[in-house]
Structure 1
Amino acid sequence: MRNACKKKVLYCGIIIIVLIIFLHPDMNARRSYEYIEKELIPDTLYEETAVNFTSSAILECDYHDVLFDDTTLSDSLVDGDLIEGHRIREGGEFSPSDCKPKFSTAVIVPYRDRAEQLRGFLVYMHMFLRRQSIHYRIFVVEQVDTRPFNRAKLLNIGALAAMRAGYPCLVLHDVDLLPLRPANLYACTKCPRHMSSSINKFRFVLPYLNLFGGAIAITSHQYKTINGMSNEYFGWGGEDDDLYARMESEELKMCRFEPENSRYHMMSHKSQHTGDRRKQVVKYEKNGISDDGLKNLKYTEVATVLHPLFTHIMVDL
């Protein structure tokens, strides 16, 4: 009887150890996908600033310290306020004053009905991005009609606005994601980059290799090449896989940074209605992408307001 109890305890102990190993946040995170080695990142960056952007600084910004920054920020920063003298210009635009940046990035956020989350996101992102010595501007595109949410179409609208403003790099960004490592540079690489490959919701492990959503960086030229995203995905789901299929059709290879520097915290929110096309992955022919995307984008611009922390584009789809 005593030996039977010992065996049960031993088996339980083994099961607990296996579960701890399997459920550990870092389980297989490093080896789950190919990534650009930190030392090689500078050679892969797409260096270009926005049209008409000028800087009075003489020396160019150096990004070595940013890329090798081991700091991890706390998501509790969303509950704070920006420091005084933050030098963020109207419309949510910032550039460093002590050096001339090599990158101009438009951060585009699709949005509806998450006011408190947006406030925290803006405070956090400005504190995060100001550390990176880049020129950036945050565009928030809000859907004000009552139709199901169309994330991809809102991103297309924001991308067009950013490109008209001369931004060469687009970061398509969900409002509930917060980057935790300042080394995750918000600049484009020469290949489209999946930035949010390690999210706390998924225990910082990439769910599947072809995932290309959450936060991504893509050049304006590349976004035009694939004709942006589909305008047909009303409701949540499917548009990211659709985007990946478009990139494949144009032979654009995705890249990532290492998992440790690609960590994000997902803020909690209510589940959204999923769209009817969420399980479909469209395999576009090279000429097929011209039928649905930037080129046939239709919407009504209700208003565009330059707030202190962001450019607010309100649209009716």
Structure 2
Amino acid sequence: MFYTRRTVFVFICSIVFLQALYYIITLQLKKNQTISPYDLTSDKEKLSVSNDTTLIQKIEPSFISTTSIQTLVPSFIKATYVLAINLTRPDPVVFKSYPVCNFSISNNDTSIYRVTVSKTIHPFDVIEKHHDDIDWGGHWFPKTCRTEQRLALIICYRNREFHLKLFLDNIHSFLKQQQLDYTIFVVNQHGTDQFNRAALFNVGFLEAMKLYSFDCFIFHDVDLIPEDLRNVYKCGDRPRHMSVAVDKFNYKLLYSTLFGGVTAFSLSDFVGANGYPTVYWGWGGEDDDMYLRVSRKLKKSITRYPIEIARYKMIRTYNHTSGKANPHRHDILYSKYDYNRDGINTTRYNLHELVFYKTFTMINVTLTEERFEQISARLNITKRKPAKKIKTIRRKA
């Protein structure tokens, strides 16, 4: 009798152990899978959303180095996330019956459009409660009208959690009031190589296009918050410089060709410019390069909202310091290199993970820094010679 009971007990324990082992293995496999919130749409449906499928075909990321390795995503305490989600979409039949969304800016009382920027840093769980109507991944669209554009708002990021919290809490309220269909992407540069703001924007564009056929892209610094609702986050027939007047610079445009901070591109314009340059490691150069791409490659001029509308507050605290200035930025910028040789088509990165947080989608990547000698050879750049000093000879009286 004792032997029979022991046999039964061992048998039951074995079953429990095998079930537990199966559960652990299954859970680990699920963690290693990243399911897009937009993957519920077939490829044909994705293409049908765009008015120009050839543009999507032009940016197929076959040249991208994509590897899945151990989790390297920054740890955001109290931020909820999922790896597999079912994005809520409007019923196509009902959606077509809705009126077109029209954010009115006709009121003569301009004070009603002024935005009060919140300066309180809340934990992520509190920010999520402030915006509990947002879908996973930082996606939102109006439920009573039909939007004409699909906006991907792309932020370059590294170690700026305080700024990110302030930005997210403010920008979601701002965009929802403008009745936009938008998704927020935060592209994190992992590793110790110098920060490459422009390359991260390209990564955000490429990864966003894998998820859904967006047709408007706004590239955004994490420390800039808009202050006027009339600064509508939409794309036009020309690229737009959004952050014209920043409080740090007394709400003045520093120079006429300034094209940094926040910029907006339609899909066709961004592809036509071959995206941002990838060759500016460290601070400076990429914004001016992008301005030249618009004027020289696209043969277009940029647009701006009036200075009293395109106002931004810059978050200037929390111990953030800019990266070192790129000593070669002027050599590259003024070389008149062929823009077809660098941009979207040369963007290389290792994709570690996509995580769909409640208020944003995190794209975590590593970039491999390219030395100036390699850049020079690839783009056929000749380093400029320093200007000769002119000797002055004093004549005797």
Q: Which residue of 2 aligns with 1:290?
A: 340
Q: Secondary structure at the match of 1:153?
A: helix
Inter-partner Cα distance in structure 2 for 1:140 and 1:192: 21
Match of 2:99 among 41, 59, 75: 59
Cα distance 1:85–1:177, how it changes in 2: closer, same or farther (>3 A)?
A: closer
Q: Which residue of 2 aligns with 1:272?
A: 323
Say which one has the larger Rg: 2
Measure how far apart 1:116 and its partner are.
Answer: 1.2
Inter-partner Cα distance in structure 2 for 1:248 and 1:283: 15
Q: Secondary structure at the match of 2:330?
A: coil
Cα deviation 1:95-137 (Å, max 9, x = unaligned): 0112111221110000001011111111111011110001000
Match of 2:296 among 243, 246, 249: 249
List runs of 5+ in structure 2 lacking aligned partners: 1-47, 52-88, 368-397
Inter-partner Cα distance in structure 1 for 2:107 and 2:172: 18
Q: Secondary structure at the match of 1:64?
A: coil
TM-score scaled by length of structure 2:
0.63
Q: Secondary structure at the match of 2:134?
A: coil
Where does 1:92-241 land on structure 2 (aligned, <5 Å)? 92-164=138-210, 165-241=212-288
Measure how far apart 1:67 and its partner are.
Answer: 8.6
Is the Cα contact below 8 Å between 1:163 and 1:220 reproduced in 2? no
Cα distance 1:96–1:189, how it changes in 2: closer, same or farther (>3 A)?
A: same
Measure how far apart 1:241 and its partner are.
Answer: 0.4
Counterpart check, 1:316 vs 2:356: no
Matched-pair identity in %: 34
Q: Secondary structure at the match of 1:315?
A: strand
Q: Secondary structure at the match of 1:156?
A: helix
Measure how far apart 1:162 and its partner are.
Answer: 2.2
Structural RMSD (CA): 2.2
| Length, aligned pairs only | 267
Where does 1:27-66 land on structure 2 (aligned, <5 Å)? 51=50, 54=90, 56-57=94-95, 58-65=98-105
Q: Secondary structure at the match of 2:204?
A: helix
Inter-partner Cα distance in structure 1 for 2:143 and 2:189: 35
Cα deviation 1:14-52 (Å, max 9, x = unaligned): xxxxxxxxxxxxxxxxxxxxxxxxxxxxxxxxxxx9659
Inter-partner Cα distance in structure 2 for 1:153 and 1:235: 11
Inter-partner Cα distance in structure 2 for 1:277 and 1:122: 34
Measure how far apart 1:230 and its partner are.
Answer: 1.0
Cα distance 1:98–1:173, how it changes in 2: closer, same or farther (>3 A)?
A: same
Cα distance 1:66–1:279, how it changes in 2: closer, same or farther (>3 A)?
A: farther
TM-score scaled by length of structure 1:
0.79
Q: Secondary structure at the match of 1:73?
A: coil
Inter-partner Cα distance in structure 1 for 2:328 and 2:197: 13
Is the Cα contact below 8 Å between 1:188 and 1:217 reproduced in 2? yes
List runs of 5+ in structure 1 lacking aligned partners: 1-48
Is the Cα contact below 8 Å between 2:274 and 2:343 reproduced in 1? yes
Measure how far apart 1:79 and its partner are.
Answer: 3.2
Residue identity matched to 1:95 = F
Measure how far apart 1:75 and its partner are.
Answer: 2.3
Inter-partner Cα distance in structure 1 for 2:131 and 2:247: 32
Is the Cα contact below 8 Å between 2:118 and 2:166 reproduced in 1? no
